[in-house]
Amino acid sequence: MQQSPIQIGMINLQDFEVPPSVRFGGRYRVMSHTLSGGTRILERLGPDDGDIQFRGTFSGPQAEARMRAINNLRLTGEVVWLTWESFRYQVIVKSFVADYHSPWWISYQIGCLVARQDGAADPQDQALSALVTADLAQAIAAVSGSSIQLGSLQTALSAPYALSAGTSDQSQVIAAVASSQAAIDQQITARSAVLATPFGTASAVSGYGSGLQSTVAAAGGLAAAVNANAYVGRIGSRLRASGV
């Protein structure tokens, strides 16, 4: 564990803060009804995670500030991500106890209540995934044949936790949405400028054909860019709303 930092919320534990071990697990809840003759009817109620517990020590000149940041998670009761190695849980900091030895050496113990199991099916996430996938498909179809590229957004959305609020994967998706919209806006501005230019005022009649083709292409590109921008913008809106 010493070589693999643990993150809780936006706080990456480091140095002596990293716990030597993390205690986690739980049970599976089952209701058993025993009938006459010994027959049992089992009602499976699902997994029941115990609190995740670990300890460490804040050290150095930022020990107090970092200790307060962790304690604030307990005070607010905010649901945050707890991650280490391949493990990911959404938790509430249920308990936080610190032993204040000095301003630069504060040992601590923390207990986290599991609010959600990573990997468990969530109807809201499934619905969000379907909506975002549909919007992305429409945006890609809209820019087909144009110079607008949505590959970075598509890659970001393929990340395992792209739709999970508060994760770095989702932050990267939101950044990719902003970048894609900026590129699309540039195309909208460029094509609008072509359409705003008076047609044929400085051209010979023989040049009207190529000028007309350029105008038609600009009009088509503008329509595609505006259409794609709407779908990409809606992806960003859906993701931001999912974190509320």
Which are the contacts of 64, defined by CB distance < 8 A and separation ≥ 6? 58, 103, 106
**pLDDT on residue 196:** 75
Enter the pTM of the model: 0.49
Write the pLDDT tens digit of every residue in 200-241.
Answer: 555 555 555 566 667 767 777 788 888 888 999 999 888 888
Residue 135 tokens read as 């919007």
**Residue 146, CB half-sphere, CA atoms under 13 Å: how many?**
26
**pLDDT on residue 8:** 92
Write the pLDDT tens digit of every residue in 141-183.
Answer: 888 877 788 888 888 888 877 777 767 778 888 899 999 999 8
Q: Contact at 8 Å (CB) between 46 and 26?
A: no
Buried b (16+ CB within 10 A) or exposed e, 64-78: bebbeebbebbeeee
In this prediction, residue 244 has a pLDDT band, given cuts at 50, 70 and 90, of very low
In this prediction, residue 70 has a pLDDT band, given cuts at 50, 70 and 90, of very high
Average pLDDT, whole number, for the chain?
A: 82
Angle, CA of 47, 25 and 18, to the nearest 5°? 140
Position 60, amino acid: G
| Nearest-angstrom CA–CA distance, 212 and 137 | 31
Closest CA to 143 of 175, 196, 181: 181
| Nearest-angstrom CA–CA distance, 94 and 112 | 5
User: Which parts of the chain are beta strand (E)?
Assistant: 7-8, 11-12, 26-34, 40-49, 52-59, 79-84, 87-102, 105-117
Q: What length does the chain have?
A: 244
Element (H, E) at 177: helix 168-196
Q: What is the DSSP letter of 207?
A: G
Q: Which range is most confident: 98-102, 118-122, 194-198, 211-215?
A: 98-102
**pLDDT on residue 115:** 85
Write the pLDDT tens digit of every residue in 1-28.
Answer: 444 588 898 888 988 999 999 999 888 8
Three-class SS state of 196: helix
Write the pLDDT tens digit of every residue in 83-117.
Answer: 888 788 889 999 999 999 999 999 999 999 998 76
